[in-house]
């Protein structure tokens, strides 16, 4: 019996490490490449560890492209989007969960129906709306469409519905306004789901490619993924440069993950509903 | 006082967004799909269902569908098997499980653009790490992204790497939701590990499996950044897919009407694929324990 357990344990570590290897070897390769000089890229046999490590790629990255600016753009757009989504969706979700009025269910059904339409369908007209409003190539243009997020509203509404009405009735009798009830009772009770939503929204925006690619064409306004995509078209074979850029783009998300691992995993498993 | 006004103010941001960035765009997109429009030369010209007819009769449509199906056929069985296996592994009580969990999760956190750049380089025919590793075993690796037959498997490989950690966590949640008493009863009856997996774990994890499959198929139809960065639809159109085509038609060739029609055709495919799966689920998904 103990022998069987030992075999089980050993095979667990063997398989788990094998999969870990498959996961990590690309990152090792990424770091290794980013520390190579350009002439060490096309060398056979492949150098797993650079023979002459160099920071050339990191330096050139910031010279060739306003990369520091791209980091800032990504931070700004991701943080602002997260705030907008959380505020806008939680306000609407409160009404859908706790404030009955005529036509509410019809409106909510409309929200749910729009969730079925994939983003690619609305992408072209959204571009045209921004063009009409003169908001192409502005931060506001990237941010504005995020005020409507049916998925986030749905998610928060489902969670706010669970809050017992008795909690709110006492406040209503005391004559509290909707805003007080919302900010003093409902928001504090929804903290875990708000945290999870914030984390997935931040990460989704940080990593988003298509929408900022369409809206932001000015190099000084690009986010990290768009900047990296541009570097790929201009310096497609200079992998030391591309790997250095890719690594830098990962650092903030990794830090955030280690700080808030629980919220991340919780958030991403509910985020799966959105796809 | 102002109770109605408060409700209205609470809903205002979402309502403005709903109208401006969802309802108007959906209507506009439907209309555009019935027109020919190059943005610059005057207003859209209405020409009925011509775009749809043209797309559905085009060779390109067959190619896009074929490529998408090729991706699905490779990706779905692989990602489902691998994620379930990893979830089973992570469902053990051993020391260090947290570290493995974290390691498996790192690709999920990486942006698709960074991951695709990385895989483009890993899959480089001459200097890439994948072929170097295959070389250790005496295997001459293919040219991957430059080879019509191997480009899509390369895209699949990168997608498995990127998505595995995510779906295995979803499966793990499913596994942890299974009532322990089933296993205890089976052990008393002397069931083998395989029997426990086959007759308890597998049936009871089917709701999660169903959910993951629906998501994966929707995602497969919407394949984009990996293709855009790794191959740009090449070589010779071997990795052209819906969203890549929609993007190119709309924002590179400025054929807005055509792109809008293609986006509705994409919607139709996703819709039908999802409905079929919802219908089929009664046959294999166990909701009652």
CB contact under 8 A, B109 and A46: no
Domain membership of residue A42 as a residue range: 2-56
Bond preceding residue A45 cis, omega within 30 of 0: yes
pLDDT at A16 over 70: yes
The pLDDT of residue B288: 61
The phi and psi torsions of B46 (rounded to 5 degrees) equal -70, 130
CB contact under 8 A, A92 and B169: no
CB contact under 8 A, A117 and B267: yes
**CA dist., res. A26 & res. A20, Å (int):** 11
**CA dist., res. A108 & res. A112, Å (int):** 6
CB contact under 8 A, B100 and A42: no
Which of A122, A147, A265 is opposite residue B29, by nearest beta carbon? A122
A96: nearest CA partner in chain B = B11
Q: What is the mean pLDDT of chain B?
A: 91
Restricting to A residues 52-81, those with a Cβ less than 8 Å away from any Cβ of B are none
Q: CB neighbours (10 Å) of residue A95?
A: 25
Number of domains in chain A: 2
H/E segment holding residue B45: strand B45-46
Same domain, A47 and A85: no
Same domain, A159 and A86: yes
The pLDDT of residue A271: 55
- A91-127 residue pLDDT tens: 999 999 998 888 899 999 999 999 888 888 999 999 9
pLDDT at A273 over 50: no
Place of tokens 């046959």: B283
In the structure, what pLDDT confidence band is assigned to residue B167 with cuts at 50, 70 and 90?
A: very high
* CB distance A67 to A146 below 8 Å: no
- A35-45 residue pLDDT tens: 988 887 887 88
- B129-139 residue pLDDT tens: 899 999 999 99
B-chain CB neighbours of A107 within 8 Å are 11
Domain boundary among A56, A84, A100: A56
Same domain, A147 and A47: no
* CB distance A34 to A240 below 8 Å: yes
- The CATH number linked to A233 is 1.10.3720.10
pLDDT at B1 over 50: no
Same domain, A72 and A174: yes
- A130-169 residue pLDDT tens: 988 999 999 999 999 999 999 999 999 998 998 888 888 8
In the structure, what pLDDT confidence band is assigned to residue B147 with cuts at 50, 70 and 90?
A: very high
Same domain, A13 and A124: no
The pLDDT of residue A274: 41
pLDDT at A247 over 80: yes
Q: What is the DSSP letter of A118?
A: -
Query: What spatial distance separates the first Cα and last Cα of chain A, rounded to whole Å?
Result: 44
The nearest CA of chain A is from the CA of B149 a distance in Å of 22
Same domain, A50 and A66: no
Domain B50-284 has CATH 1.10.3720.10: yes
Restricting to A residues 195-214, those with a Cβ less than 8 Å away from any Cβ of B are 203, 206-207, 209-210, 214
Same domain, A37 and A64: no
Same domain, A63 and A50: no
Give the C-alpha distances (Å, rounded to integers) separating B204 from B3, B27, B82, B184. Answer: 48, 42, 18, 15
The pLDDT of residue A275: 35
The pLDDT of residue B240: 95
The pLDDT of residue A65: 86
Mean pLDDT within B177-192: 88
ipTM for this model: 0.87
- Stronger pLDDT, A261 or A19, i.e. the higher one: A19
A-chain CB neighbours of B94 within 8 Å are 9, 12-13
Same domain, A51 and A67: no
Domain boundary among A33, A56, A79: A56
H/E segment holding residue A11: helix A2-34
Determine whether B16 is exposed, middle or buried from the number of CB atoms within 10 Å of its CB (0-12, 13-18, 19+).
middle
* CB distance A245 to A232 below 8 Å: no
CB contact under 8 A, A12 and B89: yes
Same domain, A219 and A83: yes
The pLDDT of residue A270: 66
CB contact under 8 A, A13 and B271: no
CB contact under 8 A, B21 and A242: no
Mean pLDDT within A59-72: 89
- A166-223 residue pLDDT tens: 888 888 888 888 889 999 999 999 998 898 899 889 988 998 998 999 999 888 899 9
- Stronger pLDDT, A237 or A211, i.e. the higher one: A211
In degrees, rounded to 5, the angle at the alpha carbon of residue A119 between the alpha carbons of residues B247 and B220 is: 75
Domain ranges of chain B: 50-284
Mean pLDDT within B73-85: 95
């Amino acid at each position: 019996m103990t022998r069987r357990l030992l075999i089980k344990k050993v095979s667990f570590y063997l398989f788990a490490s094998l999969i870990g290897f498959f996961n990590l070897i690309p990152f090792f390769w990424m770091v290794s490449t980013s520390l190579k000089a350009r002439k060490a890229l096309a060398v056979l046999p492949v150098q797993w560890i650079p023979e002459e490590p160099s920071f050339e790629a990191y330096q050139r990255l910031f010279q060739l492209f306003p990369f520091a600016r791209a980091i800032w753009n990504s931070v700004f757009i991701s943080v602002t989007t997260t705030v907008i989504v959380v505020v806008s969706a939680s306000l609407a979700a409160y009404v859908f969960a706790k404030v009955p009025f005529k036509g509410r269910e019809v409106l909510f059904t409309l929200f749910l129906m729009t969730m079925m339409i994939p983003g690619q369908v609305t992408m072209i007209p959204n571009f045209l709306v921004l063009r009409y409003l003169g908001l192409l190539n502005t931060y506001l243009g990237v941010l504005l469409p995020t005020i409507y997020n049916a998925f986030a509203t749905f998610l928060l509404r489902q969670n706010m519905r669970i809050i017992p009405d008795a909690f709110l009735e006492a406040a209503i009798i005391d004559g509290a306004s909707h805003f007080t009830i919302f900010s003093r009772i409902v928001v504090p009770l929804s903290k875990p789901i708000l945290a999870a939503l914030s984390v997935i929204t931040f990460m989704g925006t940080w990593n988003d490619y298509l929408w900022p690619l369409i809206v932001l064409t000015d190099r000084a306004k690009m986010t990290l993924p768009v900047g990296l995509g541009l570097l790929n078209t201009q310096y497609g074979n200079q992998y030391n440069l591309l790997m250095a850029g890719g690594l830098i783009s990962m650092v903030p998300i990794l830090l955030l993950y280690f700080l808030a691992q629980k919220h991340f995993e919780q958030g991403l498993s509910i985020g799966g509903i959105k796809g | 006082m102002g109770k109605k006004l408060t409700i209205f103010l609470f809903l205002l941001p979402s309502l403005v967004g709903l109208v401006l960035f969802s309802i108007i765009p959906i209507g506009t997109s439907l209309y555009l799909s019935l027109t020919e429009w190059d943005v610059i030369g005057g207003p859209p010209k209405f020409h009925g269902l011509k775009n749809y007819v043209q797309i559905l009769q085009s060779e390109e449509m067959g190619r896009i569908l074929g490529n998408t199906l090729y991706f699905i056929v490779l990706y779905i069985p692989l990602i489902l098997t691998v994620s379930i296996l990893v979830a089973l592994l992570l469902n053990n009580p051993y020391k260090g499980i947290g570290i493995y969990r974290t390691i498996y999760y790192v690709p999920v956190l990486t942006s698709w653009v960074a991951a695709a750049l990385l895989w483009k380089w890993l899959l480089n025919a001459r200097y890439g790490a994948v072929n170097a590793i295959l070389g250790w075993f005496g295997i001459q690796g293919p040219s991957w992204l430059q080879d019509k037959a191997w480009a899509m498997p390369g895209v699949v490989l990168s997608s498995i790497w990127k998505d595995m950690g995510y779906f295995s966590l979803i499966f793990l949640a499913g596994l942890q939701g299974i009532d322990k008493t089933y296993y205890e009863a089976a052990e008393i009856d002397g069931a083998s590990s395989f029997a426990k997996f086959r007759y308890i774990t597998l049936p009871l994890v089917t709701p999660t499996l169903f959910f993951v499959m629906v998501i994966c198929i929707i995602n497969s139809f919407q394949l984009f950044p990996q293709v855009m960065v790794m191959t740009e639809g090449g070589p010779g159109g071997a990795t052209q897919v819906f969203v890549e085509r929609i993007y190119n038609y709309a924002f590179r060739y400025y054929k807005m009407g055509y792109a809008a029609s293609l986006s509705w055709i994409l919607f139709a495919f996703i819709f039908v694929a999802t409905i079929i799966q919802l219908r089929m689920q009664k046959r294999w998904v166990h909701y009652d324990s």
